[in-house]
A = this chain, B = another copy of it.
Amino acid sequence: MKKSCQHHHDSAPQELSTLTSRLRRESRKITGPRAAILEILRHHPHPLTNREIFDELPKGECDLATIYRAMQMLEKLGMVKRFDFGDGAARYELMGEGDDGHHHHLICTRCDTVVEIEECFPAEIEQRIAAKNNFKAVTHRLEFFGICPACQK
């Protein structure tokens, strides 16, 4: 039995048409590879690496380099958010239009299960850190690691 995620990703994913019109708006073409990539992302609640996306795609559907280029573009347009779980591979998650996609994950260090976390680093403390060091536009990158219930047995 798979543990489900009780956050925003449980809700229906964005319509593909919503995504494509967003691309069109930026004068980007809706190509086969891109539609296929967006479909994969739409149906995955958790961040995927480029290789994972590649492996989900029917073989020959799209080149790995095309995926890398697509993800870069989508990130620049703010349509996906990039995450780093510290294992040397970038991961991407689709995000809603208004949403800034800021959230964190709890990752099992044994089986790589990923759970979305709603908690975030307290804003007041972050502001204090920014003020104390005279930094502007401070944000953070935060991920949690531990052993999931299944791996504890």
Name A's B-contacting residues (CB within 8 A).
Answer: 84, 86, 88, 106, 108, 115, 117, 119, 121-122, 125-126, 128-130, 133-149, 152
Contacts and interface: CB of A to CB of B under 8 A. Distances in A.
A128 B133 CA distance: 29
Contacts of A136: 146-147, 152
A143 B135 CA distance: 14
Contact of A142 (B115, B119, B121): B121
Q: List 4 tightest A-B contacts by C-beta distance, closest first.
A: A138-B146, A135-B146, A134-B149, A142-B142
Nearest to A120: B125
Contact of A144 (B115, B129, B145): B129
A106 B119 contact: no
A21 B70 CA distance: 52
A118 to B, nearest CB: 9
A86 B119 CA distance: 21
Contact of A106 (B121, B122, B129): B129
Contact of A138 (B106, B129, B140): B106
A115 B134 CA distance: 11
Nearest to A88: B88
22 contacts: A84-B84, A106-B133, A115-B133, A119-B125, A119-B129, A122-B122, A129-B144, A130-B146, A134-B148, A134-B149, A135-B144, A135-B149, A136-B146, A136-B147, A137-B147, A138-B144, A138-B145, A139-B144, A140-B144, A140-B145, A141-B142, A141-B145
